Amino acid sequence: IFYDHGEHIWGGPPGSPEEDGDRFVEIWNLVFMQFDQQPDGTRVNLPKPSIDTGMGLERVAAVLQGVHNNYDVDLFQSLIAASVELTGVKAEGDALPSHRVIADHLRSTSFLIADGVTPSNEGRGYVLRRIMRRAMRHAYLLGANEPLMPRLAPVLVQEMGGHYGELKRAEATIVETLRQEEERFRRTLGRGMTLLDEATENLKDGDVLSGDTAFKLYDTYGFPLDLTQDAVRAKGLTVDTVAFEAAMDAQRTRAREHWTGSGEKAVAAEWFTIKDQIGASEFVGYDHLNAQAHAQYIVQDGEGVQEAHAGDTVEVVFEKTSFYPEGGGQAGDTGVVDFIHGHGRVLDTQKQAGDLIVHRIEIVEGVLKIGDKAELQVDPIKRKTTRSNHSAAHLLHAALKNVLGPHVAQKGQLVDAERMRFDFSHGGPVTAEEIEAIEAEVNAVILQNQAAAIKLMSPDAAIEEGAVALFGEKYGDEVRVLSLGT
């Protein structure tokens, strides 16, 4: 569906020379999904053909609000107005695109952070960092002397937090993440822009910026390639991406030469194949330390085998187990396993392919074959101390938020039978007085010596009761809620 904004708006219908204008704007389309195209070009009918409908929310809002640009709808205008107020630069002329980029990227980065993504140099974290830094460059172009993005985030939460509760719950984390990232980038942004200006001052329209310069901007000053491309595009320049990628490949080669990997990622895909064959594992360890099950799959040195003998160390999957797999920072259970023709030690328990529980077993005596019945026994002392340390991690998390502020977010943890380590985000060093207050709060709950209460409920009900939802965690229809102390 194309909407005609009227003759007073320049532009023509699709296929005409003026199709890039804003008069005729597509606000809705339908995608008919019928075939799966093979590498050789042939097409296979999908088992369930479907029709996907795509509607542009801002485009429909523009029609309903009588404006002709997505950035003129009310959601964007409030953010742009706040950006204008904080920078003192009107949204007109060369400054208009900067205000629009900041408003758009603030929204996308805030939702990503609320969903548990944190800035990093790889994967989705790098996608977030690229978006953030592009907006931060535009804040620099507007002359903002202080970090701008964290000051705009509360405006976004006020606008959209009513419909998207995750924004309200994560507001402190969003603000702190934006502040830390913008402060970090500002330390190199100015020097990087100076290098870019010097490298382009003698270039003319149509010239190409060297890949080596683009790589130096990336490697030394933290400029993602698309940020550099965006910066030189305004001068009519392009970037030598072939040379840039060659420099990147050389850096990756150097990194590989200094790194010895575990090989785990190389075989990760195989576990999905195994799960397709035997199905997911059933975990019964919340209620029982022992379980009876049958060996469904045995892996030795990355290959499936039919049996394992004394002296072998293998990975074994049973249809059900009482062994808790490593997850959420908690170490996997250890223990023993007895089977028809011998016994073994469970050295570790891991989760693969989402919900396949894999036991790393040293065969002490006899032979274990696929199909053999086994008695699985978790080490009760280690389970108890690990559980206590895990409870301590929850208490510490709550105390950190109470003492340091609601912006504190968990970034990782290690919990086993020996100790507990908790990683968290905070804008500065923790003082001796704050450490004392945190310890006092945790110990006060422990000294109450009250039994922990566990309830099963929906994620929304748990959050309403005050449970802390960890950003980045995906919850099912039902969650276990642990309550400690009064």
Q: What share of the chain is helix, strand, coil (3-state, %, to 5)?
A: 45, 25, 30
Same domain, 341 and 368: yes
Distance CA 81, CA 88 (A): 10
Model confidence at 6: pLDDT above 80: yes
| Least confident range of 186-190, 360-364, 374-378 | 186-190
What span, in angstroms and rounded, lies between the C-alpha atoms of 390 and 222?
Answer: 37
**Range of 51-60, 61-70, 342-351 with top mean pLDDT:** 342-351
Confidence (pLDDT) at 290? 95
- Residue 475 has a pLDDT of 66
Across the chain, what does the average pLDDT equal?
A: 88
Cα–Cα distance measured from residue 96 to residue 91, given in angstroms and rounded to the nearest whole number: 4
End residue of a domain, out of 332, 351, 378: 378
- In the chain, the number of structural domains is 3
394 and 371 in a common domain: no
Judge contact between 71 and 100, C-beta under 8 A: yes
Please give the pLDDT value at position 473.
58
Per DSSP, 71 falls in state G
Residue 342 belongs to domain with CATH number: 2.40.30.130
Same domain, 178 and 84: yes
pLDDT at residue 265, as a whole number: 41
What DSSP state is assigned to residue 468?
A: P
Reported residue count of the chain is: 486
- Residue 369's pLDDT band (cuts 50, 70, 90): very high
DSSP-derived pairing of the beta strands 290-300 and 313-318: antiparallel
Cβ atoms of residues 45 and 57 within 8 Å: no
Q: Residue range 444-457: average pLDDT?
A: 87
| Residues 200, 60 share a domain | yes
The amino acid sitting at 69 is: N
Say if residue 137 is in the same domain as residue 151: yes
**Of the candidates 317, 343, 378, which is a domain's last residue?**
378
The pLDDT tens digits of the residues spanning 186-226 come to 888 888 989 999 999 999 999 999 999 999 998 888 888 98
Number of other residues whose CB lies within 10 A of the CB of residue 5 = 20
Average pLDDT over every residue of 408-420:
85
Quote the domain boundaries for residue 74: 2-257
Buried b (16+ CB within 10 A) or exposed e, 225-257: bebbbebbeeeebebbeebbeebbeeeeeeeee
CA–CA distance, 405 with 172 (Å, rounded to integer)? 8
User: Taking 60 as the threshold, does the pLDDT of residue 4 lie above it?
Assistant: yes
As a whole number of Å, the CA-based R_g of the chain is: 28
Model pLDDT, residue 257: 59
User: Given its phi and psi angles, is residue 439 left (phi above 0), alpha (psi -120 to 50 degrees) or beta?
Assistant: alpha
Whether residues 346 and 222 fall in one domain: no
pLDDT, residue 261, reads: 44
Convert the pLDDT of each residue in 104-149 to its tens digit: 999 999 999 988 888 888 788 889 999 999 999 999 999 998 999 9
Report the alpha-carbon distance of residue 146 to residue 124 in Å, rounded. 27
- The confidence score (pLDDT) of residue 323 equals 96
**Which pTM value belongs to this model?**
0.61
Given a cut of 90, whether residue 96 has pLDDT beyond it is yes
Span 316-338, average pLDDT: 92
Among 96-110, 169-183, 213-227, 471-485, the range of highest mean pLDDT: 96-110
Q: Is residue 262 part of a domain?
A: no
| Kind plus residue range of the DSSP H or E element containing 157 | helix 149-160
Burial 117-144 (b: 16+ CB within 10 A, else e): bbbeeeeeeebbbbbbbbbbbbbbbbeb
User: Does residue 36 fall inside a structural domain?
Assistant: yes
CA–CA separation, 149 vs 119, rounded Å? 14
pLDDT tens per residue across span 222-270: 888 988 998 899 889 999 999 999 998 888 777 655 544 444 443 566 7
What integer pLDDT is reported at residue 470 of this predicted model?
Answer: 59
* pLDDT given at position 212: 92
For position 452, what pLDDT does the model report?
A: 82
3 state DSSP class of 375: strand
Top pLDDT among 475 and 92 is at 92
Please state, in angstroms and as integers, the Cα–Cα distance from residue 461 to each residue in 98, 467, 470, following that order. Answer: 41, 9, 15
Query: pLDDT at position 129, please?
Result: 92
Q: Tell me whether residue 433 is in a domain.
A: yes
Average pLDDT over residues 84-93: 95
* pLDDT tier, 329 (very low <50, low <70, confident <90, very high otherwise): confident
Please say which residue of 225, 257, 289 terminates a domain: 257
> Is residue 198, in this structure, part of any structural domain at all?
yes
Residues 6 or more apart in contact with residue 261 via CB below 8 angstroms:
none
